Amino acid sequence: MKVYDEKHIKNIVLLGAPKTGKTLLAEDMLFEAGIIHRRGTIEGKNTISDYHEIERERGNSVFATCMHTEWRDYKINIIDTPGFDDFVGEMISSIRVADTCVMVVNAQHGVEVGTELIWNYASQFNKPVIFAINQVDHPKSDFDKTLESLQQRFGSAVTQMQYPINQGEAFNSIVDLLTMVVYKFPAEGGKPEKLQIPSSEKERAERLHNLLVEKAAENDEKLMEKYFEKGTLDEDEMRLGLKLGMIHHDVFPVFVMSAKKNMGSGRMMGFIDNVAPSPLEAKPEMTDEGKEIECDPKKPAVLFIFKTHLEPNLGKLSFFKVISGEMTATSELINSQTGAVERFHQLFTMDGKTRNPVEKLTAGDIGATLKLKDTYTNQTLHAKGFDVTVQPIVFPEPRIRTAVIALSKQDDEKIGEVLHKIHLEDPTLLVEYSTELKQLIVSGQGELHLQVCKWFLENVYGLHADFIAPRISYRETIRKPSGAMYRHKKQSGGAGQFGEVHLKVEPYYPGMPEPEEFTIRGKEVIELPWGGHLVFYNCITGGVIDSRFIPSILKGVMEKMEVGPISGSRVRDVRVMVYDGKMHPVDSNDISFKIAGMLAFKEAFLKAEPQLLEPICDLEVTLPAEMMGEVLADLQTRRSLIMGVDPLGSSEIIKAKTPLAELNRYSTSLRSLSQGKARFIQRFAEFAPVSMDIQMRVAKALQVVEAE
């Protein structure tokens, strides 16, 4: 394969809501360039992009897929991404290494909730954007309405490059406002015939062309001067102006196409070649110290690993972008995060699952390699003596979680190991064993995300597990002061055990005055690992308990706070005053006072009006305005406190505070209520008191578990 320099490489990512046609558009682009000789279909399960078994089984993209075309002396690297927000990790990592985002929009629906969400992700990286209005051949397509929705949501930078003459089932012609010709396609699609603009469209085309000329001119002072002198710009001048506008986000070009009929993709590819920025023109990558890394093949090699895929019969496939320098099949680089030396033996460009061996890749290009030993997604490899770390991707926090229980005890350890492998492949899927809940917890982006994880466990690794609702991390505290004493006495021949502790407990809040009824000999303020505080006072006078036993009493209190008396949850925001007790000259020891302190604390806690606290989440639901009623009604049934509703373009954002206990499988419910058009984000906000009936129900559940 020809080696392309950084000026002749274009890196694009295909983005868009589900069912907008990204995968078929990628198929068109490869077909037009001669990379493939027959276009696949979703129904035929034979597209280059969706090649994984689970994707063909489901009929939609789950992974980002790398491909390439060679078009008019340019190499276009294409990354096709999933449309579902559950797979946001695949989108974000792909946007990061692309130099231009192609946002595919369904001509039937215009700007959708999915479009809004993906736009927000793309905006974080400040990348140029091209809009591709697809499916103009559909009977219900409405190009003008779709264009209007784009301009309303994304502003005047949305720049019309084309429009269809005959949208709908008869669609076959596009008016191009840059070249001022009509592209008329044969019935089977492919290479169009160039025709003059018909008289019926002349006035509209010239009016829109003049607007395009003005848009191109306003991005550069010299072009503006030429525009004022001549009253117009030639094609090359317009291309320059549009490129500058794209780089500065003042121009978002809009193209028209039918990926299903293979009409329009070639023209957009020509525009990508001529106008979209190359890696040399794009915003440079930054180090984690905030310094720019030049896209220069003459500099030492720097690679950024943006995706890792574990193929069961092949091994680890690592996808990377060459940030600077050149890569060969014999390169040796250092992992900046781990210090491990990685030796390369093979380099590829990828077309789905097809690996195309190459001898060299230069700065700005995207490639893959096999079997890196100690390098994973979001890590940097660099040449010896050129120690840099590319600024890592910040992935979104998980929005949903589940407990994983192996159906066979023999698989317990294996499941943990496999889930860790899946996490290395997909950093948005987090895995931890909760010592508090005593469960293996997997957290992901949505119900679909977790279903895919379970599919891999069963179908790739042969492990079977139940995904169940995780226990809730409640907290316990008290509402009033109380006191108790406990005497621990044990005699079984020889030295016995004896310890008596009198203590008082009170609710704690920051800034509260010191206790006045006791003489304070010592004070310890403990910031608890699970949140909140314990303030422990030594108020012993007269030596009734030796000072050496005070730490043992504290240890006993702390142990009981880890397993609270109501629900077995952790206790917070309590202060304890140990003010009296007794000891034995022979039988008193550390264990005696630890037990006495623990049980005295438990008794005092239960008399102090114990209160169960539940985790509350800040919930944000983004949805079409017409679906507000049903979603709000559902939130009310989940004990939500609605904080407000904010507009977001054509959508709305509901903000609410909702108990975590009410959010199990909320992703599934929301998808059902909104026909898949709504998305949500949840973040832990605070702990809040529960009602007495819920407290009694949780306490009863603990009794049942203990009995079992």
The CATH classification of domain 400-468, taken from the options 3.30.70.870, 1.10.3430.10, 3.40.720.10, 3.30.565.10: 3.30.70.870
Per DSSP, 252 falls in state: E
Of the candidates 118, 161, 166, which has an alpha carbon nearest to the alpha carbon of residue 141? 166
Q: Quick one: angle between helices 265-274 and 22-32, nearest 10?
A: 70
Write the DSSP string, 500-529.
Answer: EEEEEEEE--TTPPPPSSS--SEEEEEE-T
Give Cβ neighbours of residue 86 (< 8 Å, ≥ 6 apart): 444, 445, 446, 447, 448, 449, 452
Asked if residue 181 lies in contact with residue 152, where contact means CB atoms within 8 angstroms, the answer is: no
Q: For the domain 6-274, what is the CATH superfamily, name and number?
A: P-loop containing nucleotide triphosphate hydrolases (3.40.50.300)
Burial of 435 (0-12, 13-18, 19+ CB in 10 A): exposed
Asked if residue 637 lies in contact with residue 663, where contact means CB atoms within 8 angstroms, the answer is: no
pLDDT in tens, 520-578: 999 999 999 999 999 999 999 999 999 999 999 999 999 999 999 888 899 999 999 99
Asked if residue 492 has pLDDT above 80, the reply is no
For residues 129 and 145, give the distance between their C-alpha atoms in angstroms, rounded to a whole number: 20
pLDDT in tens, 48-83: 999 999 999 999 999 999 999 998 889 999 999 999
Asked if residue 667 has pLDDT above 90, the reply is no
CA distances to 388, 437, 463 from 53, in Å: 38, 35, 17
Q: Quick one: angle between helices 88-97 and 113-125, nearest 10?
A: 40
Lowest mean pLDDT among 140-149, 562-571, 591-600: 562-571
Secondary element (H or E) of residue 694: helix 692-707
pLDDT for the residue 140: 95
Give φ, ψ of 390 to 5 degrees.
-65, 140
Chain centroid offset of residue 365 CA: 25
Asked if residue 84 lies in contact with residue 45, where contact means CB atoms within 8 angstroms, the answer is: no
pLDDT in tens, 375-393: 999 999 999 999 999 999 9
Give Cβ neighbours of residue 224 (< 8 Å, ≥ 6 apart): 217, 218
Sheet order of strands, 439-444 included = 430-434, 439-444, 400-406, 465-468
Give φ, ψ of 378 to 5 degrees.
80, 15
- Per-residue pLDDT averaged across 406-423, rounded? 91
- Mark residue 150 as left, alpha or beta (left: phi above 0; alpha: psi -120 to 50; beta: remaining): alpha
For residues 237 and 226, give the distance between their C-alpha atoms in angstroms, rounded to a whole number: 9
The pLDDT-based confidence of 463 (bands split at 50, 70, 90) is: very high
- 491 compared with 94, residue with greater pLDDT: 94
Asked if residue 668 has pLDDT above 80, the reply is yes
Give φ, ψ of 7 to 5 degrees.
-80, -20
For residues 129 and 101, give the distance between their C-alpha atoms in angstroms, rounded to a whole number: 5
pLDDT for the residue 312: 72
Task: Identify the sign of the CA torsion 588, 591, 597, 602.
Answer: negative
pLDDT for the residue 230: 87
For residues 641 and 489, give the distance between their C-alpha atoms in angstroms, rounded to a whole number: 51
The pLDDT-based confidence of 701 (bands split at 50, 70, 90) is: confident
Domain 400-468 in the same topology as domain 295-382: no
- 438 compared with 319, residue with greater pLDDT: 319
The residue assigned the tokens 């007269």 is 542
Asked if residue 408 lies in contact with residue 458, where contact means CB atoms within 8 angstroms, the answer is: no
Lowest mean pLDDT among 361-375, 504-518, 676-690: 676-690
CA distances to 241, 336, 342, 367, 494 from 384, in Å: 41, 10, 11, 21, 69
Asked if residue 102 lies in contact with residue 26, where contact means CB atoms within 8 angstroms, the answer is: no
Give Cβ neighbours of residue 579 (< 8 Å, ≥ 6 apart): 502, 503, 504, 518, 539, 540
Task: Identify the sign of the CA torsion 101, 283, 353, 92.
Answer: negative
User: With respect to CATH, is domain 295-382 assigned 3.20.20.80?
Assistant: no
- 667 compared with 172, residue with greater pLDDT: 172
- CB count within 10 Å of CB 404 equals 24
Q: Output the six-digit token pair for 69.
A: 């075309």
Q: Output the six-digit token pair for 96.
A: 């990061």
The CATH classification of domain 476-608, taken from the options 3.30.1490.270, 3.20.20.60, 3.30.230.10, 3.40.50.300: 3.30.230.10
Asked if residue 493 has pLDDT above 70, the reply is no
Average pLDDT of the chain is 93
Per DSSP, 63 falls in state: S
For residues 400 and 660, give the distance between their C-alpha atoms in angstroms, rounded to a whole number: 10
Asked if residue 705 has pLDDT above 70, the reply is no
For residues 247 and 15, give the distance between their C-alpha atoms in angstroms, rounded to a whole number: 18
Asked if residue 708 has pLDDT above 70, the reply is no
Of the candidates 96, 238, 350, which has an alpha carbon nearest to the alpha carbon of residue 230? 238
Residue 211 identity (one-letter amino acid): L
**Every domain of the chain and the residues it spans:** 6-274, 295-382, 400-468, 476-608, 612-695
The pLDDT-based confidence of 363 (bands split at 50, 70, 90) is: very high
Give Cβ neighbours of residue 187 (< 8 Å, ≥ 6 apart): 172
pLDDT for the residue 178: 95
Task: Identify the sign of the CA torsion 437, 439, 441, 446.
Answer: negative
The pLDDT-based confidence of 706 (bands split at 50, 70, 90) is: low
Q: How many CA atoms lie within 13 A of 462 on its CB side?
A: 2
Q: Output the six-digit token pair for 662.
A: 């009410």
Chain centroid offset of residue 638 CA: 25
**N- to C-terminal Cα separation, the chain:** 67
| % of the chain at pLDDT higher than 90 | 80
Three-state DSSP at 183 gives strand
Q: Write down the architecture of domain 612-695 according to CATH.
A: 2-Layer Sandwich (3.30)
Secondary element (H or E) of residue 663: none
- Per-residue pLDDT averaged across 430-454, rounded? 93
